[in-house]
Amino acid sequence: MDKKTLKDVALQGRRVVMRVDFNVPIKDGVIGDDTRVRAALPSIKYILDEGASLVLMSHLGRPKGKGYEADFSLLPVARYLEQLLGRPVAFAEDCLSADARVQALQPGQVLMLENTRFYAEEEGKVKKAADMDDETFSRLKQEMKEKQRAMAQKLASYGDLYVNDAFGTAHRAHASTAVICQFVEECVAGFLLEKEINYLGSAVEDPKRPFVAILGGAKVSDKLAVVRNLLTKVDVLIIGGGMAYTFQKALGNSIGDSLCEDDQVAYAGEMLADAEKRGVPFLLPVDNIAADRFAADAETQVVSGGIPDNWMGLDIGPESIKLFTEALQGAKTVLWNGPMGCFEMEAFAAGTYGVCKAVAETDSVSIIGGGDSVSAVNQSGLADQMTHISTGGGASLEFLEGKVLPGVAALSDK
């Protein structure tokens, strides 16, 4: 971590504006999973205990950027944070009209801003209409860029120090995650962001060996760049989930009606050839739980080898669980991103939970790389046996691809 962190700056008497990732599931005003809120607590408490006041900003969901939408309000999160902190959390109903609330803050006090994505300027995106010429599109993009800078400057005015503790959005060059750093002299990483970068960074740059990576999930296109990068780092690569069937097809195996991205088959074949050239074991499922349809009550069978026509693979089979478990034995670093099957349905959850158990039982630095893997680990009851559970889905993937994350790059260098 070559960027400044909270421990590198004085906080007494300062006003801090901090980007957090409070994009949590909410139904009827109740938070379904508070992992991301709790993950930000160490930074929040440290800032307040050091005698600073704090302005929090976040997005929630995918509103249309056209103003307030009740379903995407952060007010329930503010009330929940109040309970966790045991102190009041003031709330500003508009993230760009909070001057009076901000100015009234005293050391040790907290203000949360309403959803930053209620403004299109946060993301700074412009969609090109079918009948729009290139010149008009270019002009609109430039206008949006200027609006985004104006929004970032406004948010920057709320503090004299910027902290980014939102790893889950660090791969986005948004007003509140990266552009804001153009208008604040000192920009530092919070403890969560620092922890994420240190764990993921050490995993891919200086891992304890043997280093085993497990990739799953539905779409191979989401992770081919990760596969390519990890093949230069790992000692063993394990592939499961829906993405495995694209690789199986590349090998000429029958996959029935299983999920497959035909436009990625040739590239998957290249990755398999690259692994062979490098001498990296590239493990694919040797059996699968196949179903006659995509449903919780579908008829199922364990299929070794190819999958018959009109059947689809929805989980890895028992022999694959054994194979993957054996490959994990003795591992000193394990990186896991993506489930082994449709674990949301009980009939297709055994593979994911089997791998989860195998990872938990290793004597390794185990890193769970965000997304559905985190849900699976939490549901398995084995979360406390993992070394690090990432709060970033897309950010974790882009980091593992070797990409620069704008929200990290924009921070002040040490």
Total Cβ atoms within 10 A of residue 334: 27
Tokens 């994420």, residue? Answer: 196
Q: Same domain, yes or no, for 174 and 281?
A: no
3-state secondary structure 225-277: HHHHHHCCCCCEEEECCCCHHHHHHHCCCCECCCCCCHHHHHHHHHHHHHHHH
Euclidean distance between CA atoms 408 and 414, whole angstroms: 13
The dihedral over CA atoms of 329, 235, 369, 8, expressed in degrees to the nearest 10, equals 110
pLDDT in tens, 120-141: 999 999 999 999 999 999 999 9
Q: Same domain, yes or no, for 178 and 306?
A: no
Band (393; pLDDT cuts 50, 70, 90): confident
Euclidean distance between CA atoms 136 and 143, whole angstroms: 11
Radius of gyration of the chain (CA): 23
Residue positions annotated with a catalytic role: 36, 219, 371, 394
pLDDT at 320: 98
Task: Please identify, among 164, 195, 226, the residue that sits at the C-terminal boundary of a domain.
Answer: 195
Percent of the chain with pLDDT over 90: 85
pLDDT at 218: 84
The average pLDDT across 160-188 equals 96
Q: Same domain, yes or no, for 278 and 300?
A: yes
Both tokens of 204, joined, read 């891919």
Containing structural domain, residue 116: 6-195
The average pLDDT across 317-341 equals 96
The average pLDDT across 107-111 equals 98
pLDDT at 378: 87
Band (162; pLDDT cuts 50, 70, 90): very high
Q: Same domain, yes or no, for 220 and 363?
A: yes
The average pLDDT across 256-284 equals 96
pLDDT at 394: 81
Q: Same domain, yes or no, for 396 and 291?
A: yes
CA-to-CA dists, residue 87 to 45, 267, 268, angstroms: 11, 54, 53
Q: Does any domain span residue 87?
A: yes
pLDDT at 397: 83
pLDDT at 370: 66
For residue 206, pLDDT beyond 90: no
Q: Same domain, yes or no, for 176 and 107?
A: yes
The average pLDDT across 343-361 equals 95
For residue 263, pLDDT beyond 80: yes
Tell me the three state secondary structure of residue 52.
coil
The average pLDDT across 378-400 equals 87
Please give the model's pTM, rounded to 2 decimal places.
0.86
68, amino acid identity: Y
**Which class for 210: exposed (0-12), middle (13-18), buried (19 or more C-beta within 10 A)?**
middle
Q: Same domain, yes or no, for 170 and 237?
A: no
227, amino acid identity: V
pLDDT at 4: 97
Band (202; pLDDT cuts 50, 70, 90): confident
Euclidean distance between CA atoms 52 and 322, whole angstroms: 53
Q: Does any domain span residue 107?
A: yes
Q: Same domain, yes or no, for 92 and 229?
A: no
Euclidean distance between CA atoms 364 and 329, whole angstroms: 10
Q: Does any domain span residue 322?
A: yes
Q: Same domain, yes or no, for 396 and 317?
A: yes
Band (398; pLDDT cuts 50, 70, 90): confident
Euclidean distance between CA atoms 350 and 324, whole angstroms: 13
pLDDT in tens, 361-387: 999 999 998 678 888 888 888 999 999
Q: Does any domain span residue 410?
A: no
Tell me the three state secondary structure of residue 126.
coil
With a CB cutoff of 8 Å and minimum separation 6, the contacts of 252 are none
Q: Same domain, yes or no, for 292 and 393?
A: yes
Mean of the per-residue pLDDT values for the chain? 94
Euclidean distance between CA atoms 143 and 226, whole angstroms: 34
Task: Please identify, among 146, 168, 195, the residue that sits at the C-terminal boundary of a domain.
Answer: 195
Q: Does any domain span residue 409?
A: no
Contact 125, 101 (CB under 8 A): no
Q: Same domain, yes or no, for 326 and 242?
A: yes
pLDDT in tens, 46-65: 999 999 999 999 999 999 89
Q: Does any domain span residue 200?
A: no
CATH number at residue 142: 3.40.50.1260
Of 183, 190, 191, the C-alpha closest to 18 is 190
Task: Please identify, among 173, 195, 217, the residue that sits at the C-terminal boundary of a domain.
Answer: 195
pLDDT at 273: 97
| Domain count along the chain | 2
For residue 399, pLDDT beyond 80: yes
97, amino acid identity: S
Q: Same domain, yes or no, for 191 and 166?
A: yes
Q: What angle do CA 207, 212, 215 make, to 5 degrees?
A: 120
Q: Does any domain span residue 141?
A: yes
Q: Does any domain span residue 334?
A: yes
Both tokens of 24, joined, read 């949590």
Q: Is the dihedral of CA 20, 25, 30, 33 positive or negative?
A: negative
